[in-house]
Structure 1
């Protein structure tokens, strides 16, 4: 998701985020509920932010007065799109780091409870 956002592939990010969100809700039984919520939030954030960019693009396109404005619109869109895509990837990176830290804490907790159970049985 982050690489797709950084490269400015908005429609691909929307598609990947939507499919991942659906898979997380339908097939996410092997993941803890806490991680499933975090992944769902990451994918939903990707879809919402990229969709917002495209809604702004369409609104900006509808505000063009004449065809002579099109080259300026295209140039400004390309520049603005890259900047906004990079800004979208920043919170996605922070959310991914949060998912990694959460998974790591859960793994440590599981290892800790496994050690206590083996100590009680011996």
Structure 2
């Protein structure tokens, strides 16, 4: 029997290893791309390795592709750098770690030329 989450902030899957272990990489990439306006694949050092932009902003995607190989924090405005550093620190702490806390939604502003 599955229990229902009692907290509005507790919306994580109970058994992701069970349900998503055999998920094809292309399927996972499509789901992530569909779920976000902008999705970045980062390495453990916060360097952008791949980018997906959802919607009809193809002209921005060409510019964003130039971010590949750069640190994420270098692509955002000065006002957003603290948020990016906090998200990277939480990710480095790992899931379930006390110092990571609950993930918080954050909006960051990227520095695009247009």
Q: TM-score range by the shorter chain?
A: under 0.3
TM-score (norm 2): 0.27
Considering fraction of residues, name the structure with more helix. Answer: 1
Q: Which is greater in Rg?
A: 1
TM-score (norm 1): 0.26
Considering fraction of residues, name the structure with more strand. Answer: 2
